[in-house]
Structure 1
Amino acid sequence: MRVLLALLFGGLVIAQGSAVGQGQALVLEDFQAKDADGFPSSWDHESQRSHSKGRDAYKIQTENGSSYLSAKDAGQRIKKKKIDWDPKAYPVLTWRWRLNKAVAGTEPLAAIYASLDTDLMFIPVFTKYVWSATKPEGTLTEGGMFSGSEIVVQSGTGEIGQWFEEKVNVYDDFKRIHQHEPAAKAWGISIIAGPGVEIDFGPMTASAAK
């Protein structure tokens, strides 16, 4: 969904952990809270190989009074530790991102993982929404046992420094891909930025379908 943002952030006023206003939105992450080194509070670094590199790669920044997560040369995924979110009641996941630097050969450039369930081995079952350097928007790649399915929601590297907003119906996508209902509460949200890539992530919200 190629929606160019004229302003960094704006629109619906939303509150952490509760549905408010006409938009009925839940804030899943607003990137307000950070550790002493700038790493987002209540997030974990998933790789055990280079924990310090992962923390160095992801930092909360502020621009025009709005907070966002800046990722530089990460190549590793981070996940939110705890999330209380009913994907059936609030199926529409919204976030903003801005590509600042891309490196040839990196694919995908970045991704948001929506994990709505676990399998019988308690491995997260997720849909991966990606910013691809080369694949067209709408491309669906079926996942395997550990990879998850991938949907391209943003494509190309021609518009560096522009904020884009994405809206995806994670509940409908899950049922379409996995052919069953997700868990009553979503397992979590993860973020990854590719090696050499510099990209910013804005707040993530979930809202009721219109």
Structure 2
Amino acid sequence: MVAARSLTALLAALCLFAPSTSVAEDCRTVEDFSKGKVGQFPPDWKPRKDAGRQVYAVQEQDGKRFLHAAARGLGIQAAKELEWDLTAYPVLAWSWRPLEFPKGSDERQSKTNDSALSVYAVFPHTSWSVKSVKYIWSAVAPVGTPVTTSQGLTKGRIVRSGTQRKGEWVEERVNVLEDYRKYFKESNVPKPAGIAVLTDSDDTKSSAQGDYANFRLCKG
């Protein structure tokens, strides 16, 4: 699994930029992968390791742009620096599609802690670490199962479970503000520093594939 220190280094390595947004109803689109070239690692993102550039690539299908992830025995995050006001936009929304679940994966066990799809909301913590709220699509762990990694600096839960919808796009919406307060027991919530994704198969030494699309910040 990926340590919190690695996330800090990853986000610190990103160049500062003003993210382009589009408004739709009560949401702002902050990443639709329209700026990326098909078959290449997306601009404004950074892999934790250079090998991550081979894991993640922008793809297009039926006019829809998305980030495709294919991990073979690897566990490498990709992150985008993105600061926003949680009091105005507490909800993070996105679409994802599982294509291959890592064989034998079970996020409840450290030796099999791999997932086809994971999304993080990343927060500043110290000069060398960050806190993260993690949302996972698991093959076997029940929805609502809590997850804690990186010495307690990453907390979250299973938000989607099962392989029945393999190959289907599914919309997800989570209240990051409420989740941060619940998991870290803090009333004063800092602005997020970014978002990250992880499709990994290093613990199971298998392979995993999935797609991510249409990240939005929503009022509710």
TM range (shorter): 0.7 to 0.9
Q: Which of 54, 57, 62 lines up with 2:55 in the alignment?
A: 57
| Alpha-carbon shift at residue 143 of structure 1 (Å) | 4.2
Q: What residue ranges of structure 1 are gaps of 5+ in the alignment?
A: 1-14
Q: Which of 39, 47, 52 lines up with 2:41 in the alignment?
A: 39
Q: Which of 150, 154, 165 lines up with 1:148 in the alignment?
A: 154
| Alpha-carbon shift at residue 175 of structure 1 (Å) | 0.8
The aligned residue for residue 139 of structure 2 is: 133
Q: Hey, what's the Cα distance between the residues in 1 that align with 2:48 and 2:139?
A: 24
What aligned pairs does 1:2-17 form with structure 2 within 5 A after superposition? 16-17=20-21
- The answer (yes or no) to whether the contact 2:124–2:192 under 8 Å persists in 1 is no
Q: What residue ranges of structure 2 are gaps of 5+ in the alignment?
A: 1-18, 106-113, 202-206
TM-score where L is the length of structure 1: 0.81
Q: Hey, what's the Cα distance between the residues in 2 that align with 1:37 and 1:63?
A: 12
Q: Hey, what's the Cα distance between the residues in 2 that align with 1:122 and 1:26?
A: 30
| Alpha-carbon shift at residue 37 of structure 1 (Å) | 5.5
Q: What is the aligned-residue identity percentage? A: 29
Cα 1:35/1:159, change in 2 over 3 Å: closer
Aligned: 1:108 with 2:118: no
RMSD across aligned C-alpha pairs, in angstroms?
A: 2.1
Task: Give deviations 1:146-182, integer Å, cap 9, x for gaps.
Answer: 6511210111122221111111000000011112222
- The answer (yes or no) to whether the contact 2:39–2:58 under 8 Å persists in 1 is no
In structure 2, the residue corresponding to 1:197 is in which secondary structure? strand
Q: Which has the higher helix share?
A: 2
Count of residue pairs brought into register by the alignment: 186
Task: Give deviations 1:112-154, integer Å, cap 9, x for gaps.
Answer: 0101x32234511110101112110111234453651121011
| Alpha-carbon shift at residue 108 of structure 1 (Å) | 2.4
Cα 1:126/1:202, change in 2 over 3 Å: same
Q: Give the letter aligned to residue 69 of structure 1.
A: L
The aligned residue for residue 93 of structure 2 is: 94
Q: Hey, what's the Cα distance between the residues in 2 that align with 1:54 and 1:17?
A: 26
Q: Give the letter aligned to residue 140 of structure 1.
A: P
Q: Hey, what's the Cα distance between the residues in 2 that align with 1:36 and 1:110?
A: 20
Q: Hey, what's the Cα distance between the residues in 2 that align with 1:70 and 1:144?
A: 25
Cα 1:200/1:36, change in 2 over 3 Å: closer
